[in-house]
Structure formats: C-alpha cells, structure tokens
Amino acid sequence: MQEEITNGVVAAVKFVAYYIIWSFVLFNLGRVSLLLVTLGQYPRGLDAQRHVNQISLVGILVLVLAWSVVAIYNNTLASMPNISFEADGYAAVQFQR
C-alpha cells in the first residue's frame, strides 16, 4: 500500500515537473525566440498548438546557446589583459580574474 502511494506521488511530481519545465518554460522561451527571429510570423495561431515539441526544442537550444555564450565569455573575454599606459611612456599589462 505504501509503495503504491509513493509511486503515485512520484508520478505526480514528474507530471508537474514536466508540465512546468517543458510545456511552460521551454515552450515560451522557444516561442518568443521564434517570434523574434521570424519577426512575428511563426508560430501563430494553430502552429503554436501543432508544434509544441518542436517549439520546446528550440527553447532548449536557445537555453544551451545562452549558457555557452556566458561560458565562453567568462573563460576567454573576461580574462583579457587590462593595458594602461603610464606617464613615463611604458605600458602596464594586468590580467584580471
């Protein structure tokens, strides 16, 4: 009896997590991204209802792309040298982390 209740609770939590993450967050992120890229042409009307999984996949890709851009920035561009020129004409180079 306790195992059935546990399985029911786990199934309910999985359903809620799926609905919140996949069907709401990723779908809306993908939808907004597609609307921006296509200048408001896609997805509109029934296309948004017919292509839910494809639009959510675009949301995943946008999230991964944003995460990659932040990672690249933090590992390369943020550690660029800070070059300042002193009064005596020499350049001072400092790396900031």
For the chain, the helix, strand and coil percentages under 3-state DSSP, each to the nearest 5: 70, 10, 20
Percent of the chain at pLDDT > 70 equals 78
Give pLDDT tens digits for 44-75. 888 888 998 999 999 999 999 999 999 888 88
Buried b (16+ CB within 10 A) or exposed e, 36-53: eeeeeeebeeeeeeebbe
pLDDT at 90: 66
